Structure 1
Amino acid sequence: MTERPRLLPVLGPAGHAGRDAMTCLYRCGNACEHPIPNRSGNPSLTDVVTTGVSRRGVMLAGAAAAGGALVLSNIAAEPAAAAAVDPREMMPLEPGTPAGALSFKPIPPNKLDSLVVPNGYDSAVVIRWGDPVVPGAPGLDVTKQTAARQSKQFGYNNDFVGVLPINQRRALLVVNHEYTNEELIFPGFTSLDAMTVEQIEVAMAAHGLSVVEIERVGDTGQWRPATKGALPYNKRITALATRFELTGPAAGHDLLRTAADPRGRTVIGTLNNCSGGVTPWGTVLSGEENFNQYFVGGDGAPEALKPSLARYGIPTTARYPSGSRKWERAQERFDLAKHPNEAHRFGWVVEVDPFEPLAKPRKHTALGRLKHEGANVIVAKSGHVVAYMGDDERFDYLYKFVSDKKYRPKDRRHNLTLLESGTLYVAKVTGDSPAAEIDGTGKLPTDGAFDGTGQWIKLVSGDRSFVPGMTAAEVLIRTRLAGDAVGATKMDRPEDVQPSLKTGKIYAAMTNNTNRAVGTNPGVDEANPRSANKHGHIFEITEDQGDHTGTTFTWALPIVCGDPADPSTYFAGFDKSKVSPISCPDNVAFDSAGNLWISTDGNALGSNDGLFATPIEGSDKGHLRQFLTVPTGAETCGPFVTGDDRSVFAAVQHPGEITGASQQNPASTWPDGDFAKPAVVVSWRLDGGPVGS
């Protein structure tokens, strides 16, 4: 049903950029209160050279998370065959009109406690926290929640969303659950220290991933959980109990061995899963991000490990650092004074096969260990698979992985091995303008663009290290230190990195970096041109000669975010009086026409986060428009546009995440009018046409 918007309560104190302090505590363990992990001496580049709100859209409904355009196709209903098809080769469900020039009327910035979409569109919740996932699971009852119940229900704080087709009318929805807000989950919550072990285990069960079979509603772009049939694919993957297999050159290394796993090959759980991607062979990649906040006892870890622990944001001078989650009270392995190698078992790219419910998910060491926002792949001209990744930290790096083996269409067994061996690179970029022209204000240099060249520096290939003093396994386990050693370029929080299947260009969201050029921190450069960068920008990579396996590229900043009226912003040269304001880009995705969709996290312009779309080619390039906004305190996570362009999914993460809010006294009542619940939503055009155009 449709309701009028609710006014927002007064916001709590701001944390990093536009974030609330509660977000800073639970999202990243108050990272800004701790020293910047990257203390390397790597040089910066300067050293190297309105209106139209849909009343139908202001609903008790929601949004969902990251990926690229995946076509829902007219293929057979046999799941493995469906998953083996390269999404770029799949035909649309219906011929219809593909997405083209964007034409929706942008919605204005707002602070409504509702999901808002443009005129001519509607939206609905697909699934929310606590909804049953495993057949027979109970519904949510916050007064009776247990770890056993939560392990069968949809998890908390959905981030990445992938949609993989089964047949013409059904698909698998795969969702990450990044972290939990205990104040908003447990009635009567007082502090993390006062939590019971059962409550800690509930939180652990609310982390991980959900796989849910969904079905189309009638002939519309709406989707809902499937209700008929055995639902054999539905499952939960949790931080509490799910076993993961380690693959690749570092598997079994001494640094990955623990008392519980002396072989160093089996890990329990996955932590802080942020964004991800859908592979051409029908699996999902999930990035383990801010895993550092789950560990205590860094002060008691062996001295030899402390430098690398600190490089990953784990304090080594205090037993209980600010923001720690207290999980060691439920499982001792999170105490590094007793189990120092346990931290090395997180920070990987996880591959989940949703079409094989009994298959053990895998952590691929060949892709390196960092604070992975996610990983997205493209098949190079040579047939090798190339994965692009960002390390979400102030002053950290961009990476890519090139597989040893080649992709084989319809050979799924072979393709499932592609990420187990290959070559890992880190990016070093150079600007083409005089250093004096990059003054920190965001003013364009005289050549009219922030751009330059770059190279991919080889870190490791198979069992061979290219970093002096480090073995291949050490490079993969301590990838940040390897990037430091080869002089990689310090970026402004590289988050989601997505290849365009239409142009082959690569787009990375640089969310923000309020520490840039502040105090003794690294100064501005052409790739990160603003001091105290609170709004972020989009970084575009064009691989030389279109070769994704190559080692050189050119780059540019097509969008420098913020208020279009601010001279420091840039929208590919488009008339800024016609574009929507945008702050803190987080996830990026594409529709079939190659339009870039951008979701935001931590809007520093004072309005709710949202989802935006812009062409990246042609005369309309840079004409950015706001497509939706999420409710009070929420973040918009990685959009996913289905390949028939009739549905756009988004994740509404942490609604009501406002300091002082609680489960009984919520800052948001979205989506059901009682208390805040993270949810995945879908939006569609009322006339059945392609979204956006």
Structure 2
Amino acid sequence: MTPRLDLPLLPMSGKTHGNRSAVTCHLRCGDACSIAAPNTTETSYFRDVAATALKRRTVVGTGVTVAALTALASAPAAANPTGAAPGRPRQLPFTPIAPQARTLDAVTVPAGYRWDAILRWGDPILAGAPAFDPAAQTPEAQAGQFGYNNDYLDIIETNRAGTTALLVCNHEYTNENIMFPPGTAAETVVRTAWAAHGMSVVELTRRKRGDVWTYVPGARLNRRITLDTIFTVDGPAAGSDLLKTKADPTGRTVRGTMNNCAGGTTPWGTVLSGEENFNQYFLATGTERTESRYGLSPTQDSRRWRDFDPRWNATSADYKNEPNRFGWIVEVGPTDPTSTPVKHTAMGRFKHEGANVIVNSDGHVVAYMGDDERFDYVYRFVSRDTMRPGNSPKARQHNLTLLSEGDLSVARFTGDGLADGVSDGTGEWIPLTRGGASMVPGFTIEEVLVFTRLAADAVQPTKMDRPEDVEPSLRSGRIYVACTNNTSRQAAQVDEANPRPLNKDGHVVEMIPTNGDHTANTFAWNLILICGNEQSAGRYFGGWTGPVSPISCPDNVAFDSEGNLWVSTDGQPAAIGLNDGLFKVPVDGPERGHVQQFLAVPSGAETCGPVIRDLEGSVFVAVQHPGEDGTYAAPQSRFPDYVPAGSNAAAGQFAGPRPSVVQVTRS
């Protein structure tokens, strides 16, 4: 099924956490895959807690239901940054769409709405970049063009009229099997893929609020960040021997970022990006726990990047530490294309889905993060220093250091509190670092931060079902954890926070900081969604008992001005036979848990990076890996250009699929 190239390219998705077909699962290490989860430690699954708690639950014909939550009434509300008043008319009224079959190659939106692809893979964004030519790609061209497989997305307005903005986007990985025509030279494939990874910053313009955005080719602030971009390393592990290589004997400078998944935008205007499944690019022995715990092995690097750069060969003494230089949260200043991005070691190293921050009442910045792997953990970072308000040069310079020093902890969820009916559970943050020192016996501060998974194993947090996006609501202060799925969890491994064995549909956890304090050592929590379709055992929707849109495999979350949760999915085609989509879920009031589908993406695609601008009637999503199991010659999607087979494409178009950013507006 794959093009004949000068190297053996397997059909690949590039995600090692996935839930797709057997064609792509060999690189996903997920629920359709036989590769073992890296976390084989004997930490607690809280079986005793689960056994006690399940006796307090009501068992019905479809499975376990969750008790109604009353603690939400006491959850403190944060200031509403959008200014939306309670009870105001909704700006995104819609009738939920019908579920769309996995074979439908179309973007489906509600009646009264339209969609537009405002940026596509290969669109030229830097000055002098050529028009996209799918038949003759080059590394040089791709370095000036919009990258592949757009994921995290934000639209940051840059003037008061709302007519100019910066689009910031991650490019997670590449699907070489559908990108390159047969016979493309191996070196061209590899080096072009390097240039297609990373991030993009692109200027946008429009006439007035509510209009469709248009990108500005060659604009002054446009930027591509690739695997050749220089990053600075900061924090307690900067300069560590664990980060030094032949090319960087200082351990303080890294070339490039990759597998950038989700992220977040900070109150001081920078963008955070999570380096996720970096292990797939390296050849490694996998014999040491510091490697195997991160999925590094002798069989991961099917792309064979090591043939063209020795740094991808971690079996050599010169580059044994190169994998340690990936798996971080990176911070980018989108308004300064000359700035050097930073990798923050204080926030730990694992398969970061992303990081989202909230400013606590005392001014400390708190970041929540998920490690996207079966049986891995939820983390929290609390800054050492407090945020300075305003945008003066001194305040901005200070705020740019907030993520460089602070305390890292990991979550343990327990079932205490069920008996009193106040909440479904309580939990605690177990410290890994405090005041710049290790809190894990036997680990130095550098080891905790470089081998965070191993340090966390030692303190026995809760093993989760692939915690992906972890995001606080700026309106309510509650935190939402999207647990995508985990069909490897057995009945004996069920616990309160992960209530189903063989969990193919996933769930969403709602966390409530004690007294509204995001730096507190404890929290309450409940399960707001246990996803699935009508036949799914144990499905639950926040107390809502009416009809819902089928939803499976929650991945990214976002919020609108009213505080509603929006959930994008990754894995519905395999789990329930439906195209992935975007769903609105009220989290307060009588409609709490009422899942309503807003859009569906085309065949083979994942819905990523939702941005909800309900006050102006717009929604944005990144449509990633459409038609991922096809080939260049036989595409399984023609999104978004929809060039008919056998016809001549116009300049800059492609008969095959192109990952794209889509804006949905009211007609």
Q: Give the TM-score normalised by structure 2.
A: 0.86
- Listed as ranges, the matches of 1:514-525 within 5 Å are 514-517=487-490, 523-525=493-495
Deviations along 1:267-316, whole A, 9 cap, x unmatched?
A: 011111000001111111000000000000325xxx6xx1111000112x
1:347-375 per-position Cα deviation (integer Å, ceiling 9, x unaligned): 00010100111001110001000000000
Residues 16 and 354 from structure 1, CA distance in 2 versus in 1: closer, same or farther, beyond 3 angstroms?
closer
Aligned counterpart in structure 1 of residue 320 of structure 2, from 318, 340, 364: 340
Structure 1 residue 472 and structure 2 residue 431: aligned? no
Tell me which amino acid in the other structure corresponds to 2:140. A
Aligned pair partner of 1:459 in 432, 445, 450: 432
Q: Distance in 1 between matches of 2:437 and 2:18?
A: 41
Q: Is the 8 A contact 1:289 1:392 kept in 2?
A: yes
Identify the residue that residue 63 of structure 2 maps to in structure 1.
Answer: none
CA contact (8 A) 1:26 1:179 kept: no
What residue number does 1:211 align with? 201
Instruction: Specify the SS of the correspondent of 1:475.
Output: helix
Q: Partner of 1:182 in structure 2?
A: 176
Structure 2 match to 1:668? 637
Verify the 8 A CA contact 1:647 1:683 in the aligned structure 2.
yes
Tell me, yes or no, if the aligned pair for 1:98 and 1:645 is still in contact at 8 Å.
no
Mapping of 1:150-189 within 5 angstroms?
Answer: 150-167=142-159, 168=161, 169-188=163-182
What is aligned with 2:125? 133
- Quick check: 1:276–1:284 contact (8 Å CA) kept in 2? yes
2:432 alignment partner, SS class: strand
Q: Show the 5 A alignment for 1:232-247.
A: 232-239=220-227, 241-247=228-234
- Residue of structure 1 aligned with 2:237, choices 236, 250, 274: 250
Q: 2: CA distance between counterparts of 1:250 and 1:282?
A: 25
Distance 1:323 1:21 in 2: 18
2:485 is the alignment partner of 1:512: yes
| Distance (Å, rounded) in 2 between the aligned partners of 1:26 and 1:130 | 24
Preserved contact between residue 502 and residue 594 of structure 1 (Cα < 8 Å): yes
CA shift at 1:25, angstroms?
Answer: 4.2
Whole-Å Cα distance in 1 between the matches of residues 424 and 471 of structure 2?
Answer: 19
In 2, Cα distance between equivalents of 1:170 and 1:260: 40
2:432 and 2:438 in contact (8 A); partners too: yes
Alignment of 1:50-449 (within 5 A): 89=81, 100=90, 103-111=93-101, 112-167=104-159, 168=161, 169-188=163-182, 196-226=186-216, 231-239=219-227, 241-298=228-285, 306-315=288-297, 318=298, 321-322=299-300, 324-338=302-316, 339-410=319-390, 411-432=395-416
The residue type paired with residue 233 of structure 1 is L
What amino acid sits opposite 2:507 in the alignment?
H
Task: For 2:563, give the aligned amino acid.
Answer: G
Asked whether the 8 Å contact 1:424–1:460 carries over to 2, the reply is yes
Question: 1:441 matched to which residue of 2?
Answer: none
CA contact (8 A) 2:368 2:470 kept: yes
Query: 2:635 and 2:363 mapped to 1: Cα distance?
Result: 51
Q: 1:616 to 1:294 in 2, by over 3 A?
A: same
Match of 1:32, SS state, is coil
C-alpha change, 1:180 and 1:16, in structure 2 (3 Å) is closer
For residues 324-369 of structure 1, the C-alpha deviation after alignment (integer angstroms, 9 at most, x for no partner) is 3211112110101111100000000010100111001110001000
Could you tell me which residue of structure 2 aligns to residue 487 of structure 1? 460
Match of 2:53 in 1: none
Give the number of the structure with larger relative contact order, counting CA–CA contacts within 8 Å between residues 6 or more apart. Answer: 1
Deviation at 1:99, TM superposition (A): 6.5
The answer (yes or no) to whether the contact 2:624–2:660 under 8 Å persists in 1 is yes
What is the letter of the counterpart of residue 538 of structure 2? S
Secondary structure in structure 2 of the residue aligned to 1:132: coil
Tell me which amino acid in the other structure corresponds to 1:532.
L
Residue of structure 1 in register with 2:541 after alignment = 571
1:396–1:494 Cα contact (<8 Å) kept: yes
Normalising by the residue count of structure 1, what TM-score does the alignment of the two structures yield? Answer: 0.83
Counterpart CA distance in 2 for 1:415 and 1:99 is: 36
Matched, 1:535 2:501: no
Deviation at 1:23, TM superposition (A): 4.0
- Flag structure 2 segments of 5+ consecutive residues without an equivalent: 1-11, 51-77, 643-654
2: distance between equivalents of 1:277 and 1:677? 24
2:568 counterpart of 1:580: no
Q: 1:30 to 1:498 in 2, by over 3 A?
A: closer
SS in 2 for 1:163: strand
Partners of 2:82 and 2:561 within 8 A in 1: no
* AA at the equivalent of 1:39: T
For 1:679 and 1:407, locate their aligned partners in 2 and report how far apart those are by CA, in whole Å: 35
Deviation (angstroms), 1:386:
0.2
User: Relative to structure 1, is the Cα distance of residues 447 and 645 closer, same or farther in structure 2, using a 3 angstrom cutoff?
Assistant: farther
Contact 1:283 1:352 in 2 (8 A): yes
SS at match of 2:429: strand
The CA distance in 2 between the partners of 1:655 and 1:534, in whole Å, is 21
Say yes or no: does 1:503 pair with 2:484: no
Kindly indicate whether residue 36 of structure 2 is the aligned counterpart of residue 35 of structure 1. Answer: yes
Q: Quick check: 2:379–2:410 contact (8 Å CA) kept in 1?
A: yes
8 Å CA contact 2:31–2:504 kept in 1: the answer is: no
Supply the distance in 1 between the matched residues of 2:369 and 2:157 (Cα, whole angstroms).
25
Over 3 Å counting, the alpha-carbon distance change for 1:88 and 1:428 in structure 2 is same
Q: Give SS of 1:419's match.
A: coil
Report % sequence identity: 53
* Whole-angstrom CA distance in 2 between matches of 1:218 and 1:237: 30
Determine if contact 1:127/1:679 at 8 Å carries over to the other structure: yes
**Deviates most, 383-392 or 665-674:** 665-674
Task: Mark the CA change 1:141 to 1:102 in structure 2 (over 3 Å): closer, same or farther.
Answer: closer
The CA deviation at 1:123 is 1.1
Cα distance in 2 between the residues matched to 1:374 and 1:175: 13
